[in-house]
Amino acid sequence: RAKKSRRGGFVMFSAEMGSDIRERVRLLQSLRSAVESERLFIVYQPQVDLITNAVVGLEALIRWRNEDGTFVPPDRFIPLAEASGMIIAIGDWVLRMACHELVRLQGQGAKDIRMSVNVSQIQFRNPEFIDKLKSALSDTSIQPECLELEITESVAMEDADFMLETLHSVRELGISIAIDDFGTGYSSLSQLRQLPIDRLKIDRAFVSELSDDVMGGHIASMVIELGRNLQLKVIAEGIESEAQAARLKQLGCHEGQGYLYAKPMTSVLLKDWLKERGAIVGI
């Protein structure tokens, strides 16, 4: 028996996996030093009303720039930050920075623009999350109605009472909730109906399927229909072409976000962009 398990153990740690683990450890070490030397920053991507073209929101997206100028994409380091627990501190920092940014923009004349912040399941599950949210609100003096949290479908659907409780607590603070990457998970409709949420965010994969041909876009159109029935707002992410925007509008989608309108921008560039769009008046 012992022999068998030892052999099993041996198989598990193949040379390939060893190098994968070494790679992860290396990446984690450099993430730590990136946090310490402030090489993380935030970019903001505008969200627009598809009918009026007005800027209605901004999504805060984290960036990590190495000393050599190369970037590590969030899809690579967020999972690592989650596994190591660093996401709690990083996520709290993103939240505060994003709130500050919006308050600053409002001071410069931006109106009716909300800030969307991605929240990891690890943050959301943390028992201190609501307290952290409250202190971010009071420290930055952002109006809670202007703040939206994006959580993924799998987090929202988790079958745990405290999850639902946390969602309700967020809502009670006046903050709204969007379900990110909607359509990629396995939501049960009866569960979805009971969730205290405000918005569905159609995943980019289903937006890129949209084209003039009738066959594409079935999922996008179902999500929009679902939103209509459940009285939820719907936003599409990853809009890259006029054809996609037109189709979404035709299907009744309220809002959109994507390279067609703007790529995520640093705080400095964002201010100029908003000015040019007339979303910031004067000063």
Interaction site with ligand C2E (CB under 6 A): 45, 61-62, 73-75, 78, 91, 94, 118, 120, 150, 180-181, 204, 237-240, 258-259, 264
Q: How far is it, in rounded angstroms, from Cα 177 to Cα 198?
A: 5
**Nearest residue (CB) to Mg ion, 116 versus 280:** 116
How big is the site for Mg ion, counted in residues (CB under 5 A)? 5
255 binding Mg ion? (CB under 5 A) = no
144 binds, among ligand C2E, Mg ion, none (CB under 5 to 8 A by kind): none
Picked from ligand C2E, Mg ion, none, the partner binding residue 235 (CB below 5 to 8 A depending on kind) is none
User: Shortest approach of ligand C2E to residue 275 CB, angstroms?
Assistant: 22
Cα(211)–Cα(107) distance, integer angstroms = 40
- Pick from 92, 101, 150, 153: which binds Mg ion (CB under 5 A)? 150
Residue 148, interface with Mg ion (CB under 5 A)? no
Using CA atoms, how far apart are residues 109 and 117, in angstroms rounded to an integer? 21
Give the integer Cα–Cα distance in Å for 282 and 227. 37
Local structure of residue 146 (DSSP, 8 states): G
**Considering the rule CB under 5 A, would residue 181 count as an interface residue with Mg ion?**
yes
* Closest C-alpha among 171, 84, 89, 157 to residue 123: 89
Element of type H or E holding 16: helix 15-36
Among 180, 200, 219, 221, binds Mg ion (CB under 5 A): 180
Which helix (H) or strand (E) segment holds residue 3: the answer is helix 2-12
Residue 77 Cβ vs ligand C2E, minimum distance, rounded to whole Å: 9
Report the partner that residue 255 touches, choosing among Mg ion, ligand C2E, none (CB closer than 5 to 8 A by kind).
none
CB of 156 to ligand C2E, least distance (A): 14
Q: Closest approach of Cβ 30 to Mg ion, in Å?
A: 24
Closer to ligand C2E at the Cβ: 45 or 140?
45
Alpha-carbon gap, residue 109 to 106, rounded angstroms = 5
Output Rg (C-alpha) for the chain, integer angstroms.
Answer: 21
For residue 213, which amino acid is it?
A: D
Shortest Å, Cβ 239 to ligand C2E: 6
Q: Which residues does 252 contact at the CB level (< 8 Å), separation at least 6? A: 224, 225, 228, 234
Kindly state the smallest distance separating residue 183's Cβ from Mg ion, in Å: 10
Helical pair 87-107 and 74-84, crossing angle rounded to 10 deg: 120
Contact assessment for residue 219 and residue 184, using Cβ atoms and an 8 Å cutoff: no
State which residue, 75 or 159, has the beta carbon closest to ligand C2E.
75
Q: For residues 108 and 184, which CB has a smaller minimum distance to ligand C2E in the complex?
A: 184
Residues that bind Mg ion (CB under 5 A): 118, 150, 180-181, 237
